[in-house]
Structure 1
Amino acid sequence: MTSTHSAALGAKHEIELPGARIRYHETGEGPPVVFVHGLLVNANLWRAVVPPIAAAGYRCIAPDWPLGAHDIPVPEADLSPPGVADLIAAFLEKLDLTDVTLVANDTGGAITQVLLARDPARIGRVVLASVDCYDRFLPPPFDALGVLARVPGVVRAATELLKIRALQPLPIALGWVAKHPIPREVADGYLGPSRRSAAIRHDVRRFLGSARKRHTLAAARSFPRLTLPVLVVWAREEKLFPVPLAERLVAELPNATLRLVDDSYTFIPEDQPDLLSALILEFTREHAAP
């Protein structure tokens, strides 16, 4: 299948992990920066964020995590939030990455928090860019997806409906996650895998069936023990995750700072990629390994 990913993400690779084969893109050399996207998107979310970071001397690695916009089904994988967190940990171990800068957005931020609570050994610093947290995992109106996904045919029907461009700005679609229109070919690349493949839809249903706030609330109890640097980047106009959630994260994480971003919703990598790249570079330089 022809990749819909931007060439700016770099060369395409695949890696075998316990229960899953993961496709990822890599470009640049230097300290590793690994990206964690959210539900129903893939590594292409980072297509405009990666190039300036790679050009500044970093090894940028952007996997397609099995969250519904992946092309390789993972029927044997544990797709609960702890299971996906363990998959990320296994990925870092398999590539022998250390002192990693982990950059997460949306649902990927919830999984990253679970990972930090379970196995933070290879992570040096974290960027949480408008993410699920505390009791907003999944946030309204997307919290209904866990129930709806159990109804046969709902996931396929939803992705088929979203082929209609006029419906994509609805709140339950892309309207509350991206302030500015996502290019047609990019949106089609996000929605295409679950539209084409029953196996991918099955993966989506398995994740949605276990995406519950108990996981983020449990992860938050580990926050006082996390001393690694955390940059919290938040959209000032957030529709899904009100800014007080970002302020709470910064208050409870011992070594966290907050930067607010204008003219963006949750998908900061889509709405404000240049600014996000600059903030990541500023943060990694400030907290570089000695």
Structure 2
Amino acid sequence: MSQLTPVAEGIHRLVPSPAGRVHLVEAGEGPLVLLVHGFPESWYSWRHQLPALAAAGYRAVAVDVRGYGRSSRPADVAAYRMTELVEDGVAVVRALGERSAVIVGHDWGAGIAADSALLRPDVFRAVAMLSVPYVPRGGPRPSEAFAAMGGTDEFYVSYFQTPGRAEAEIEPDVRGWLAGMYAALSADTMPGPGAPDPHFVAPGGRLRDRFPEGRLPGWLGAADLDFYAAEFERTGLTGALNRYRNMDRDWSDLAPYDGAPVTQPSLFIGGAQDATTRWLADAVDAFPATLPGLVSSHLLDDCGHWVQQERPNEVNGLLLDWLTQL
């Protein structure tokens, strides 16, 4: 390990990974809990969970996913496929001198966490998913499914596929774009009923054209936004967006696991106002089959997509209740 730096949130470390390095922030001692963020975020999205988990007797570790922050950013798009990200998590566990961990993920991190549990049950003994429920591999090729959504509008996942396209929209004004994205998916600032859906792009338009402007969500202070903006202004968005550009590769890579359940003890927490939770309601209903080890599932009222930041105290309580049952 290298560059151990104590900070208010914990200790920053760089540890080796298959791509080069993973940056992480660690707090506390005890059983290892690995926290994996989503798009467009960083380890910082777990700033409320790190001290709470540490105080409860856990070794809480929040990583920058490959492509983000101070973690390695390979140039090859295919380097961001799910199997590579799972091995990054294994490398972190090993670098910290541990044999196993509980893994907790939000947004894309929820998918990484679920597939980590699926592919490496020898390492990941329990899994919690925030905002995005487990959906076993199956169905049509993802690019085909997403292309069929939205009618004449383009779903954001499809919009993100072509390298450079979304970057050209975001990178001239990273801070403004992030503020709009966070507001668009937060319960207190998301567009109201009847407004154009910010997950879709009109023909010839941009994703940000449908973002609300002028007000930050209650959970996001100016200093928080400054932190996120500084990270992406330094790194660019390509590494983060490359996760979306591997969904068809993941579909092929995971073919041997078609329909496979995740059997370890599990937890799901979603926001009742989150479009992702509504779109994937059938996946939540399927939990008895897809997550046979499910301990509990929760939908938080008046909560959007950024659950652990919008409702940190409630999420902390649910996580700690679940962890004590493992």
Partner of 1:33: 33
| Cα distance between partner residues in 1 of 2:221 and 2:83 | 32
**Pair 1:236-2:272 in alignment:** yes
| Cα distance between partner residues in 2 of 1:51 and 1:278 | 13
Q: State the Cα distance separating 1:133 from its structure 2 match.
A: 4.5
Give the alignment of 1:249-260 within 5 angstroms. 249-256=287-294, 257-260=296-299
Give the alignment of 1:269-280 within 5 angstroms. 269-280=308-319
Q: State the Cα distance separating 1:114 from its structure 2 match.
A: 2.1
Question: What code does the residue aligned with 2:81 have?
Answer: S
* 2:125 aligned counterpart, secondary structure: strand
**Pair 1:12-2:12 in alignment:** yes
CA-to-aligned-CA distance 1:124-171 (integer Å, 9 cap, x gap) = 2111111264379798743134324343xx415313334237x834xx
Give the alignment of 1:124-273 within 5 angstroms. 124-131=125-132, 133-134=134-135, 141-151=155-165, 154-164=166-176, 168-169=179-180, 173-180=181-188, 181=217, 182-197=220-235, 200-212=236-248, 214=251, 218=255, 221-223=259-261, 226-242=262-278, 243-256=281-294, 257-273=296-312
Partner of 1:93: 94
**Pair 1:120-2:117 in alignment:** no
The runs of 5 or more residues in structure 2 that have no matched partner are: 1-5, 150-154, 189-216
TM-score by length of 1: 0.81
| Cα distance between partner residues in 2 of 1:215 and 1:229 | 27
Question: What code does the residue aligned with 2:108 have?
Answer: T
* 2:275 aligned counterpart, secondary structure: coil
* 2:305 aligned counterpart, secondary structure: coil
* Cα distance, 1:221–1:41 mapped onto 2, change above 3 Å: same
Coordinate RMSD, CA, aligned: 2.9
Q: State the Cα distance separating 1:215 from its structure 2 match.
A: 6.8
Q: State the Cα distance separating 1:228 from its structure 2 match.
A: 1.4
* 1:163 aligned counterpart, secondary structure: helix
Partner of 1:3: none
* Cα distance, 1:122–1:73 mapped onto 2, change above 3 Å: closer
| Cα distance between partner residues in 1 of 2:227 and 2:168 | 15
| Cα distance between partner residues in 2 of 1:27 and 1:156 | 37
* Cα distance, 1:250–1:234 mapped onto 2, change above 3 Å: farther
Of structures 1 and 2, the larger Rg is shown by 2
TM-score by length of 2: 0.73
* Cα distance, 1:120–1:191 mapped onto 2, change above 3 Å: farther
Kept in 2: contact 1:14–1:21 (CA 8 A): yes
The answer to which structure, 1 or 2, has the higher relative contact order (CA under 8 A, 6+ apart) is 1
